[in-house]
Amino acid sequence: MGFSRKFYYKDNNFSLINDDTFKSLQEFEDKKFDMIFADPPYFLSNDGITCSAGKMVSVNKGKWDRCLDNFFDKAI
């Protein structure tokens, strides 16, 4: 099985993939990587509020930042 999408950057030493981590990883065989650097959701979107410029505003960043029950299980 190989990666079917275009690499963001690739040379002889490393490759960068700009994509959804879980979708991309499904295209590779197990134990393929020495390291994965990913920017995970920070789980700040909890329907809370904060004060910004004297106004109460939502802290929700978007659907991508919602808690994933199995986020860490998928990452292993």
So what's the pLDDT on residue 36? 78
Confirm whether 33 is domain-assigned: yes
Q: What is the pLDDT of residues 28-75, one digit of tens each?
A: 888 777 887 776 666 666 777 788 899 988 877 777 666 665 555 665
| Range(s) of the domain holding residue 42 | 9-75
Judge whether 1 lies within some domain. Answer: no
Buried b (16+ CB within 10 A) or exposed e, 32-45: eeeeeeeeeeeeeb
Task: Establish if 46 belongs to a structural domain.
Answer: yes
Cα(44)–Cα(62) distance, rounded to whole angstroms? Answer: 10
40 lies in a domain? yes
Query: How many domains does the chain divide into?
Result: 1
